[in-house]
Structure 1
Amino acid sequence: MTDWAVIGHDGQRHRAFALSGPRVTHQSSGADEAAALAGFGATQRLYRIGEGRPDTLPCPLLPGHGPGLAGLTQDHPADVIDGWVRLILLGFAARHPNWDGVVCVLCDTLSHWVHLSADEAVSCQSFLTPTLASALGATMPPDSAAISDSLSRPERLAAHLRSAQVTGTPGALSGHLLGAELAAARPYWLGQSVALIAPDGGALGYGDALAAQGVPLARHDPESLLPDALAALAQVLGFSD
């Protein structure tokens, strides 16, 4: 059994985990690596999330034996998924081996739709919807009529957003943005099983909108998937008991 540590940035802060084999013994966070690792003591190996050149899709979610868990990249359409999101996907795949379907991961600034099959990431499509919603002052919950309008007529998104801005309806802003995203992501959810991964409360708009389209949907909190992800890393790196 080897003592080791994992560190990465989750989009808000640096997070570090001390492990004994596949088990987390201590975790911490901080504004930088030094703060996150303070109090850990010496470790035989520090494994970094987001380290290395991104792997090109399609590819296995499990990494090789490099210095860290790299992100994912795709040529057409051009896209990049960071190492922390890959870690979350790895945790989902570890909990649901050989799952075939689509995972939608919601982050503070991006949403990622990823097709998984046989524990591989096959393709992806990411959206700036959360960033745009924040910039425009959109609020939750999204207006259901606005979702429907932009889902059926996404080419009118800019006009819909202006109308919502003029009328002072921030719920319509979020609804139109979400409806346009669902229209563009239709190949990822139509006829698919979808897993929605988002912090508690953050998935309400997406979950309700997908359910309204009759999409089979399972919801997961990313924090609940981290132990599975770290245990999977321990196994592939030879740190399991």
Structure 2
Amino acid sequence: MTDWIAIGRDGADISAHAMRGASLIKSTRAPDEAGALAALAFEAAQQVRIGDGAPDPLPAPVLPGAAGAALPGLVQKAPPDVIAARVRLWIAGLLARQPGWDGVVCALEDGINHWVQISAGEAVSAQSFLTPRLVSALGGTMPPAPDAIADSLSRPERLAAHLRAAEVSNRPDAISGHLIGVELAAARPYWLGQQVALIAPDGAAPGLDLALGDQGVPVELHSRESLLPEGLGALARAFGLNG
């Protein structure tokens, strides 16, 4: 089995993963690369840099078909978007768990919700939203108010008025609900008539899962943490590091 290390930025920190073929041995996280590697204490001649290199333009395979020294992110020209390489790994983990899966992934990544259309192992298109950042900036709370989600999903043009009413009424849960409702209204082309996989921290996507369920959308929840080992294993197979 090939010993190798996957390393790259993970939010504000650096994450390092000790791999033996397609199996994850250990993961560490530190403010800098030296600290992450020291904590990993794993000897390997080969590293794969997660997030290095020029992003692959959409549409693109979820994982490259040829070995490389890095796994870059994804980029889209219109509408302009950038998707981090670690999101790519989560999606690869989903496809490893459910081969042949087609549909739409909504991946929650540090203040950004990425909606990505997946077909035949490719990321076809994407639309991302800053909804979690707006919820935080405006003092919204979870779980979001279902009535607010419904109001702004059906009347997204009234968002500013809805937010003011929630503020005056001292309803922070309604602030969150209105913002989620507007996101769902804008993302309707992605989820309407599709199956949706929500990839979220600890598998929790407050409001989004229930709101999509209320629209009759088949939704499955996955934790980012559980998909990462499977994504790294898929990367090993794609890069020929599993032998």
Unpaired runs of at least 5, structure 2 = none
Residues of 1 paired with 2:164 and 2:203: CA distance? 27
Quote the Cα distance in structure 2 between the aligned partners of 1:194 and 1:20.
32
The residue number in structure 2 matching 1:79 is: 81
TM-score in terms of structure 2 length: 0.95
Letter of the aligned partner of 1:80 in structure 2? V
Preserved CA contact (<8 Å) 2:156 2:185:
yes
2:134 alignment partner in structure 1: 132
Contact 2:67 2:240 (C-alpha < 8 Å) held by counterparts: no
Give the secondary structure class of the aligned counterpart of 1:161.
Answer: helix
The residue number in structure 1 matching 2:239 is: 237
Which residue number corresponds to residue 68 of structure 2?
Answer: 66
TM score, norm. by length of structure 1: 0.96
Instruction: State which drifts further: 51-60 or 21-30.
Output: 21-30
Tell me which amino acid in the other structure corresponds to 2:49.
Answer: R
Between 185-194 and 96-105, report the one with greater CA deviation.
96-105
Q: Could you tell me how far 1:186 is from its partner in structure 2?
A: 0.3
**How much has 1:41 moved relative to structure 2?**
4.2
| Partners of 2:102 and 2:119 within 8 A in 1 | yes
Aligned residues: 241
Does the 8 Å CA contact 2:203/2:224 hold for their aligned counterparts? no
The 5 Å alignment of 1:202-213 reads 202-213=204-215
Confirm or deny: 8 A CA contact 1:52 1:69 kept in the other structure.
Answer: yes
Q: CA RMSD in A?
A: 1.3
Structure 2 distance, partners of 1:57, 1:9, is 22
The question of 1:199 aligning with 2:166 is answered no
Correspondence list, 1:21-60, <5 A: 21-39=21-39, 40-60=41-61
CA contact (8 A) 2:149 2:211 kept: yes
Q: Percent identity?
A: 58
> How big is each residue's C-alpha offset from its partner over 1:38-82, in whole Å with a ceiling of 9 and x where there is no partner?
142442011111011010111101123232110111111111101
Q: Measure the CA separation in 2 of the matches of 1:74 and 1:178.
A: 23
Q: CA offset at residue 2 of structure 1? A: 1.9
Counterpart in 1 of 2:161?
A: 159
Amino acid at match of 2:48: Y
In the alignment, is the contact (CA less than 8 A) between 1:2 and 1:44 conserved in 2? no
Q: Hey, what does 2:20 align to over in structure 1? A: 20
Structure 1 residue ranges, 4+ long, deviating more than 6 angstroms after superposition: none
- The 8 Å contact of residues 139 and 170 in structure 1, kept in 2 or not, is answered as yes
**Does structure 2 retain, via aligned residues, the 8 Å contact 1:52–1:67?**
no
CA distance in 2, matches of 1:201, 1:45: 32
- Taking the aligned partners of 1:79 and 1:96, their CA distance within structure 2 comes to 26
> How many angstroms apart in 2 are the aligned matches of 1:62 and 1:200?
23
Q: Which runs of 5+ in 1 are unaligned?
A: none
